[in-house]
Structure 1
Amino acid sequence: MQIHPLITDSKSLADLCGRISKSEFVAVDTEFMRENTYWPELCLVQIANDKEAAAIDPKAPGLDMKPLLDLLTENVDVLKVFHAGGQDIEIVHNLTGQTPFPLFDTQIAAMALGQGEQIGYSNLVDAYLSISLDKGARFTDWARRPLDKRQIDYAIGDVTHLSMIFPMMLDELRKTGRGSWLNQEMERIADPSNYVTIPAEAWRRVRIASRKPDVLGRLKALAAWREQEAQDKNLPRGRIIKDETMADVASHPPRTQEDLGKVRGLSAAWKTNDIGARLIHALNEAQPLPKNEMPERDPRKPGLGKEGALVADLLKLLLKIRSREINVASRLLARSDDIEMLAAGVRDELSILEGWRYEQFGRDAVDLVEGRMAFAVQDGKLRMTRTER
């Protein structure tokens, strides 16, 4: 495989993308910094097909990134291959408003091939290529220039290895007939809505015990205010105000800005400065959360009760047995919410009762709930047996 020098000029990047645009796939990885910012700072992009690989410096003066971004988001003939690509996809979405498409995530594929729930990249490389990676450059400062040879070699290695592993995984998926098992998961991570932050909805990510409309209304206002402050200042949310402090302020709101100086977790300076004034304004403008926005349990999911919880536990045991038998990650096979709803008597719109999940797990799960299957120990192993009602 040809390894190019670090690309820092527009012509070299355009030429590389022109060649790779004729490939069946391109392996993609990024290096970024986000410890001190709201928006991830893109520092390096690495791409490779089966013939060539390169690292691209997005910080290079005058570099036109459009050919690369078009390759990732507009060229539907080239499959984009990532490993645990959520943050890489988020960066592309931040730059373009689109997600790479079509895409393939090797971490998700590994779930269908008996490699566990969330296999790390180093373990994946070891499993498929018997190569132990040097992780020394992983936590370097990718924003500092110039990048040294060790950093660049480490970064390019991520995509050269990925470009070798992907065909091997694809061949396994074809032989086992499990390629279609991944469609739903790949579509999920490609959904652009996963990477859009709406300030008015930010409160839903904050844990709070209260279900009072006035408290939740204040939380909604505070979370939206924090999101805007974090974006404007390009700071992590927690640098503005931590979740637990925000939930406490929503539950026990200070009456005046002066009172902010008494709130644990806030700087005493907030009792007189502009950011404190904006927080108090957000609180004063808050309205009780409307009834139609109140968080509710899934309307399909009635309370389990003690007996239902026991049934759910039996279903989870069945899931472990079946996952072991077919060598697939249990998380790919069934989600806890679906199992609990099945235990509660729900039969409509459950993913485990559709397609391949029904064939591999759902049918037996229903039979267990309805008394047509039971657990038994055979040759020292826990197995499922058919029963007669």
Structure 2
Amino acid sequence: MKIHDLITTTDALADLCERLATSEFVTVDTEFMRENTYWPELCLVQIANTEEAAAIDPLAEGIDLAPLLDLLCENDDVLKVFHAGGQDVEIIVNLTGKTPFPIFDTQIAMMAISQSEQIGYANLVDHWQNIQIDKGARFTDWSRRPLTERQIEYAIGDVTHLSVIFPKMLKKLIKTGRGAWLDAEMEKLSDASNYVTDPASAWKRIRQTGRNPQALGRLKALAAWREGEAQHKNIPRGRIMRDETLADIANHPPKKQGDLAKVRGLSNAWKDNDIGKRLLKVIEEAEPLPKAEMPEKVKRGAPLGKEGALVADLLKLLLKIRSREIDVAPRLLTRADEMEALAAGVRDLQVLQGWRYEVFGKDALELVEGKTGFTVKDGRLNMTHIDDAHGDAHADMGAALAAE
């Protein structure tokens, strides 16, 4: 494979993208910094096909990334392959408002052909190529220039290995017939709305146990305000205020700005600075959360009842057995909350639809309805239909009587 020098000009980038545009797929990775900023700062882009690979410097003076972004977001003939690409895609959405398309994520794909739920890149390479990657440059400052040869070599390795692994993975997916299992997961990756932060919805990410409409209304207003402050200053939202502090203020709002100095997590300066004034104004103007926006009551444990909780535990045991039998990640089949809902009598569930029903949901439903049970054979747990188990027991008893 040909490895190019670091690309720092628009002309060189355009030439590269013109050649890559004829490929069936390209593998893509990015290096970025976001420890001190709200928006991730793109510092390097790596891209490869089966014949060549390159690293692109988006910080190079005068470079225009348009040829690369067109290849990623406008060329539907080339499949874009990432590994755990959520943050990479987020950066591209920030730049273009679009996601790369069509898209394939090897971390997600591994769930369909192994029991690995979030396999890291180093373990992926070790699994498919028996190569141990040197991760020494992983925590480098990618914004500093010039980049060293070791940094560039490390970064390009993230796409050169992937360009070898992806065809092997695709071949196995085709052989096992599990490619269709991933359609919905890849569609989620392609939805740009998943990467755009809506300040009006920011409060939903904050842990809040109460259901007081006034407190929740303040929480919504404060979370949206914090998001706006962080975006405007381009700093992490936690630098404005931590979630715990935000929730505390929503539940116990200060009556005057001077009281902010008493809030745990805020400095004394808040009692008379401008950001403190803006915060107090948000609190004063916050409206109670409308009934239509109230979060649903979370049902855990006790509402299932003791018997229902036991059934849920049996379903989780079945999930472990089935995942082991067919070598698939449990999370791809179902989630814990779905199994609890199934045990509680809910039937409008994803696990009872499509391929998930055929692979796991059908047996799970039969277990809930008492049509199947567990048996131990040769030291291993197995699923057995109740009628089959009774038949085997009757056969064994008949044989014993005949022997007498």
Does 2:30 match 1:30? Answer: yes
Which one is further off, 182-191 or 290-299? 290-299
Does 2:369 match 1:370? Answer: yes
Q: Would you say the 8 A contact 2:115–2:324 is kept in 1?
A: no
Measured in 2, the distance between the counterparts of 1:246 and 1:282 equals 12
Letter in 2 for 1:362: G
Q: Which residue does 2:99 correspond to in 1?
A: 99
Letter in 1 for 2:366: D
**Structure 1 residue ranges (4+ consecutive) displaced by more than 3 angstroms after TM superposition:** none
Tell me, what secondary structure is at the counterpart of 1:131? coil
Q: Deviations over 1:94-135 (max 9, x none)?
A: 101111111110001111111511110000001111111111
Q: C-alpha displacement at 1:303, in angstroms?
A: 4.1
Q: Would you say the 8 A contact 2:200–2:220 is kept in 1?
A: yes
Letter in 2 for 1:249: I
Q: Which residue does 2:44 correspond to in 1?
A: 44
Measured in 2, the distance between the counterparts of 1:115 and 1:364 equals 19
Letter in 1 for 2:326: I
Letter in 1 for 2:386: T
Tell me, what secondary structure is at the counterpart of 2:264? coil
Letter in 2 for 1:93: V
Q: C-alpha displacement at 1:345, in angstroms?
A: 1.1
Q: C-alpha displacement at 1:297, in angstroms?
A: 4.2
Q: Would you say the 8 A contact 2:115–2:330 is kept in 1?
A: no
Q: C-alpha displacement at 1:337, in angstroms?
A: 2.3
Letter in 1 for 2:368: V
Tell me, what secondary structure is at the counterpart of 2:152? helix
Measured in 1, the distance between the counterparts of 2:372 and 2:188 equals 33
Q: Which residue does 2:264 correspond to in 1?
A: 264
Which one is further off, 113-122 or 358-367? 113-122
Letter in 1 for 2:118: Q
Measured in 2, the distance between the counterparts of 1:106 and 1:135 equals 19
Q: Which residue does 1:178 correspond to in 2?
A: 178
Seen in structure 2, the aligned counterparts of structure 1 residues 298 and 266 have a Cα distance that, compared at 3 Å, is: closer
Q: Deviations over 1:209-243 (max 9, x none)?
A: 21100000110011001000000001101100000
Higher radius of gyration, 1 or 2: 2
Q: C-alpha displacement at 1:28, in angstroms?
A: 0.2
Measured in 2, the distance between the counterparts of 1:139 and 1:24 equals 32
Does 2:114 match 1:114? Answer: yes
Q: Which residue does 1:150 correspond to in 2?
A: 150
Give me the identity figure in percent. Answer: 70
Task: Spell out the pairing of 1:1-389 with structure 2 (5 A cutoff).
Answer: 1-297=1-297, 303-348=303-348, 350-388=349-387
Measured in 1, the distance between the counterparts of 2:115 and 2:374 equals 26
Q: C-alpha displacement at 1:307, in angstroms?
A: 2.2
Seen in structure 2, the aligned counterparts of structure 1 residues 297 and 103 have a Cα distance that, compared at 3 Å, is: farther
Letter in 1 for 2:375: A
Q: Which residue does 2:396 correspond to in 1?
A: none
Tell me, what secondary structure is at the counterpart of 1:117? coil
Tell me, what secondary structure is at the counterpart of 1:27? strand
Measured in 1, the distance between the counterparts of 2:29 and 2:252 equals 45
TM-score scaled to structure 2, two decimals?
0.94
Measured in 2, the distance between the counterparts of 1:367 and 1:112 equals 24
Q: Deviations over 1:310-369 (max 9, x none)?
A: 211111110000000001000111122221221111112x21111211111011011000
CA RMSD of aligned residues (A): 1.5
Q: Deviations over 1:290-314 (max 9, x none)?
A: 1000001489xx9423322221111
